[in-house]
Structure 1
Amino acid sequence: MSPARTDHDARRRDVSEAVWQVLAEHGFAGLTLRAVAAAMGASTGLVTHYFAGKRELIAHALDILEVRTQQRPRLKAPAIGLPTLRTHMLNILPLTSEGAAMNRIWVGSWDVALSDPALFTAQATRYERIRAGLCAAIEDAQRLGELPARADAQRLATTALSFTHGLVVQALFAPERFPAEHQIELVDGFLVTLRRSAG
């Protein structure tokens, strides 16, 4: 690899770290080319070498957020079926300070994604993937007899994700009322209700 290519890759990593720093401190509302340049101690011109405008910057920020979300420490499911569904739901919630920070950024991304068709599509696809993961766990639970086989797995997955995201919003706005242990209790209660309603 040529030195020039190595320098370019290193600089792009520096830009990505600066984008993440701005996101973590100011959210999408504060994400601008100038803010990223300031975080790097560089000129705005250097940042525009990587991003033609605000939309490209936001798209890159969403990519970084997705990668960071996947790489953060996660709970491991002890078994397939309902334990996996429970673990998926818990891994979405703001149970730690890092999880809360990540969720604040995700919630902040909704506004920009809703206002841009391409970003909207990317976010919609992401939520389809999450629902698919929940649905797979539910189908395993049905095969194991933990949930009735006649229940609509996709509908249950949508219900589970709706509950989880609603809990995320409440926990972010009232963290003192929704500490980690209470969020976990609510998820366990939801799963009990899910089994009853699905039956």
Structure 2
Amino acid sequence: MPRHVDHDQRRREIVAATVAVLAERGTRGLSFRAVANYMGGSTTLVTHYFPTLKDLIDEVTAQSLRKWDDEIKELDSQANDPLGRLRNLLTWLVPTTEIGLANEQARINLLSGQILGGENRATFEAWDGKIRGYLRSHLTDLVPAEEVERTVELLRVTTNGVVLSVVEHPDSWSAERQMAVVDGLLELLGLANSPSKD
């Protein structure tokens, strides 16, 4: 009797293995064989679902965006006020955990490698657009409408800078140091103890 395979689960496993390979080896180490080896299988395990690396990276992008929506909803449910939701989002944007660091290493390695040339740009545009959308929605109750875009820009650039610093020097950037930067920025922007804008 043939064994039942959950194809959606298998696709998630392949994507997780791809992210792990990117984090550990960068784009030069990314291949179907590397992903299959990480999973303990043959390359056909991967190519059955993703015939090209572009298809695989597209799925990494799609799964990331869906997963992020679920994670942000969960984080939002844990805060009672707009500032708490914003702080949770900013905490999520910096790699305060080992998993967060691995995901950011994979993202930066993918960006720096540009393995798919200009086509890779779509991945980063999608990720950045989604994150900016989260920031925008989390700021609407905290800052005047005319300040939202400027504040999104400052928060995005700062969190990206923290991410790069952590990836470059992981031993120097504890979760506490990362959050001190986030909290300092919120304070500088006048949001640290800000009531909603109503």
TM over 0.5: yes
Structure 1 window deviating more from structure 2 (111-120 vs 77-86): it is 111-120
Counterpart mapping for 1:1-199 below 5 A: 6-7=4-5, 9=7, 12=11, 15-16=14-15, 18-66=17-65, 78-112=79-113, 116-142=117-143, 149=144, 151-195=146-190
Unaligned 5+ segments in structure 1 are 143-148
Q: What is the root-mean-square deviation in Å for CA atoms of aligned residues?
A: 3.2
Larger Rg: 1
Name the amino acid aligned to 2:190: R
Task: Report if aligned partners of 2:61, 2:127 keep a CA contact under 8 Å in 1.
Answer: no
Task: Report if aligned partners of 2:32, 2:43 keep a CA contact under 8 Å in 1.
Answer: yes
Q: 1:30 to 1:64 in 2, by over 3 A?
A: farther
Residue 14 of structure 1 deviates from its aligned partner by 5.5
Residue 41 of structure 1 deviates from its aligned partner by 4.1
Question: What is the alpha-carbon distance in structure 2 between the residues aligned to residue 178 and residue 157 of structure 1?
Answer: 23
Question: What is the alpha-carbon distance in structure 2 between the residues aligned to residue 18 and residue 134 of structure 1?
Answer: 29
Question: What is the alpha-carbon distance in structure 2 between the residues aligned to residue 104 and residue 137 of structure 1?
Answer: 26
Unaligned 5+ segments in structure 2 are 192-198
How high is the sequence identity, in percent, across the aligned residues?
28
Q: Could you report, residue by residue, the CA deviation over 1:120-162 in whole angstroms, capped at 9, with x for unpaired residues?
A: 22321221121122122221113xxxxxx36421121111111
Residue 17 of structure 1 deviates from its aligned partner by 5.2
Question: What is the alpha-carbon distance in structure 2 between the residues aligned to residue 170 and residue 13 of structure 1?
Answer: 29
Task: Report if aligned partners of 1:80, 1:141 keep a CA contact under 8 Å in 2.
Answer: no
Residue 113 of structure 1 deviates from its aligned partner by 5.3
Secondary structure in 1 aligned to 2:140?
helix
Question: What is the alpha-carbon distance in structure 1 between the residues aligned to residue 79 and residue 129 of structure 2?
Answer: 24
Task: Report if aligned partners of 1:113, 1:123 keep a CA contact under 8 Å in 2.
Answer: no
Residue 108 of structure 1 deviates from its aligned partner by 1.4
Q: 1:136 to 1:21 in 2, by over 3 A?
A: closer
* TM-score (ref. length: structure 2): 0.75
Question: What is the alpha-carbon distance in structure 1 between the residues aligned to residue 18 and residue 68 of structure 2?
Answer: 15
Q: How many residues align?
A: 187
Task: Report if aligned partners of 2:82, 2:142 keep a CA contact under 8 Å in 1.
Answer: yes
Question: What is the alpha-carbon distance in structure 2 between the residues aligned to residue 114 and residue 42 of structure 1?
Answer: 23
* TM-score (ref. length: structure 1): 0.74
